[in-house]
Chain A
Amino acid sequence: QKEVEQNSGPLSVPEGAIASLNCTYSDRGSQSFFWYRQYSGKSPELIMSIYSNGDKEDGRFTAQLNKASQYVSLLIRDSQPSDSATYLCAVNSLEPTGRRALTFGSGTRLQVQP
């Protein structure tokens, strides 16, 4: 059974700190990994994608992928109150039908305290 697990939080960090969000997945064959930010009442917004082991940086965001350990993480540097949202991890997983589909975790709620 495909699974993507995230700590639901809330994760509370002070403004200016580094927020670290983690995600584990069960399908060893997964090939693509995504982080979405979702503000309350809004639709998810893609903020990072990562396809190979290691780090990928984009502005204040860094995605880290370790396929051997089956985890992917998102670091947010210099956290701002505007970063307060729910962060969804999504993993390209194999379905019982043999097709691949995106499986979403239930999200981690981040609160950045001014």
Chain B
Amino acid sequence: SAVISQKPSRDICQRGTSLTIQCQVDSQVTMMFWYRQQPGQSLTLIATANQGSEATYESGFVIDKFPISRPNLTFSTLTVSNMSPEDSSIYLCSVGVPGGRGQYFGPGTRLTVT
């Protein structure tokens, strides 16, 4: 299985600031995804990070708030912009398992906005 790392693992940020989360995979993968998990909730897909083109966002998520980069097949970043306390969540990146056998998840970034 792919080894996925995320940085930072956690952060406490002030309202109105932005945070960029990095996701690194130890092998080239076609599909990378970003999820949000609010306290006590299940995972919600934010967007699919496309290599070399703009990310594909799910309903309710916009590029201005969650800009995503995918410069190559092993790396992606998610920025949470102009943060408010409602953005306090765990943010997870995931990669598609070859053969369409689901996804593997990174360890997550725990974000608290004060």
Chain A partners chain B: no
Binding site for A on B (CB under 8 A): none
Q: Contact residues of A with B, CB < 8 Å?
A: none
